[in-house]
Structure 1
Amino acid sequence: MAGAGFWDDQERARDVVQRVKALKAWVEPFDRLEGRVRSAQELGDLLTAEPDEEMARELDQEASAIEGDLRAYELRSLLQGADDWRDAQIEIAAGAGGTEAMDWAQMLLRMYTRWAERHGFGIEVLDMSDGEEAGIKGAVLEIKGQYAYGFLRPETGVHRLVRISPFDSNARRHTSFASVFVYPVVNEEINIEIRDEDIKMDVFRASGAGGQHVNKTSSAVRLTHLPSGVVVSSQQERSQFKNKATAMKQLKNKLYQLELEKQAAAKAKLDATKSDVSFGSQIRSYVFQPYTMVNDHRTELKIPDVQRIMDGDIDEFIEAYLKQYGAGAMEAR
């Protein structure tokens, strides 16, 4: 990095720096763990020769802390996918169930936001479409942090909600669905060609719940990539120029993911687990009534504390999936 001309290409330089940081994020925690284990062993040898109750309690506490940190390090060792180190783009869309499904999509939006906050990751809303009565029709988030994509990629699939709907005056139990797709956020140096003639741009007025903060001009942007049929939109900014830039970023991420899937198509046909994360598969159920249970249908992990899960504590599900399927499961889908 100290070489002449390294910073001439800013995008490539930033990518190299990010990769170096990612490597340091492996090496430095390992060195710290190794040093703590060595110190604990030395303290254990000292206590064998000269017993001390207070020091023994401190050693027990340190041993428990090392065990927890080692578990976290082992989990990260499963993040070996080519793009696992990248930031993540999450796309949430309400499915069958009307207003109830739109409310469910908003609940998932909050769950992933809280998860990101717990991990100290940055969060940016790239696009959001409000529901007519409640909730959201869909949203696109960018989660910024090392290995955000690696941790979140197991969340791709259909999420099912079972509860007594607050929108049903007869208090009947409803089943609703929302889809979640997770993409790696790619940089400009990745060769994804988007020609101007392949893009159809539509502009429209941004909409919001209750008519609040709605632009009076057509600043919202919808882009259609004609060769692939991929459609993206952005209406968060008041500037049409900024909305177009945000939509282009979304489009580039989606096309990159499509290219990865195209390259892995042959392998995916031979992969027995490829259907686990395909579009339309139900990966997890969240039951609020008549009992409480969150059940991951891929790993069969069941957690009864549904409120804790909805507050963003989904690491157990992520860990169980990564341990069972490893780093390659999503890349070969």
Structure 2
Amino acid sequence: MRALLVVNPAATTTSARTRDVLIHALASEMKLEAVTTEYRGHARDLGRRAADSDDIDLVVALGGDGTVNEVVNGLLHRGPDVDRLPKLAVVPGGSTNVFARALGLPNDAVEATGAILDALENRTERTVGLGLAAGTPGTEDESVPERWFTFCAGLGFDAGVVGRVEQKREGGKRSTHALYVRQVVRQFLNEAHRRHGQITLEVPGQEPVTDLALSIVCNTAPWTYLGNRPVYASPKASFDTALDVLGLKRLSTPAVALYGTQLLTSSPEKGPRGKHAVSRHDLTDFTLHSKVPLPFQMDGDHLGLRTSVTFTGVRRALRVIV
């Protein structure tokens, strides 16, 4: 087997020494080429190269969710083709590692590498569904290119939090869960549309859902982790189905207290619920429109402001070693 290892040297939970150990462990079991990323988008370019190659069987992403997202977008740059494309393996190295943990991999890089080597020996894998988002035709965002996501996307409040965290990280702050909690509070205090939502969910064949103040799109459950605690925005979301949506119509102080508590105590059986909560399960195609430009994120990467995003849930998009 020939494999390409994409290494993010800025991965927050692995040291250079640990990465060297992991590289040697993988190289002992396969013909391995290890490449360290040097710029934003480099992992995507490496994934694209692997997809266009005739002799790469596996791409291993060593990094956080952002690295995984780039690799996936490179692999799928010509669309999903599970029989042709290299398989993907993920060694978690970020602060949260939602995709890897949702696959059932250990959150420790060394343990995850061992699990991947065991899976390769036993030839175990799964084919997962992914989300695809693009600018909506006929709107000012129609020129926004398509982009794949592995576990979540969001228009509005949660994307604003992601943007705040990225600003802090660019200023030298470490990506910690405490940092995220602080930015949630600050985003809430400065949210201009928390009482009167600006977002409309449109699903073909259904009545539009209007006045949403928050919209979270999930490709799997949990939605994220707070430390070791999984948080379920859409408990029924799965890599085996299309996409789920959670919308909240109000972000007043009482509503935030209620739904924040529900998120913190959520489980695979129970997520946010109430008169201001809207849930949709297993959607293949839908659009989120906003009356005003709002922050947009995919897999924890802030992508700027959007007014309209069209989503597609693609089942059986990529083979993953687990």
Is the TM-score greater than 0.5? no
* Band the TM-score falls in, shorter-chain normalisation: under 0.3
Q: Which has the higher strand share?
A: 2
Higher radius of gyration, 1 or 2 = 1
Which structure has more RCO (C-alpha within 8 Å, separation ≥ 6)? Answer: 2
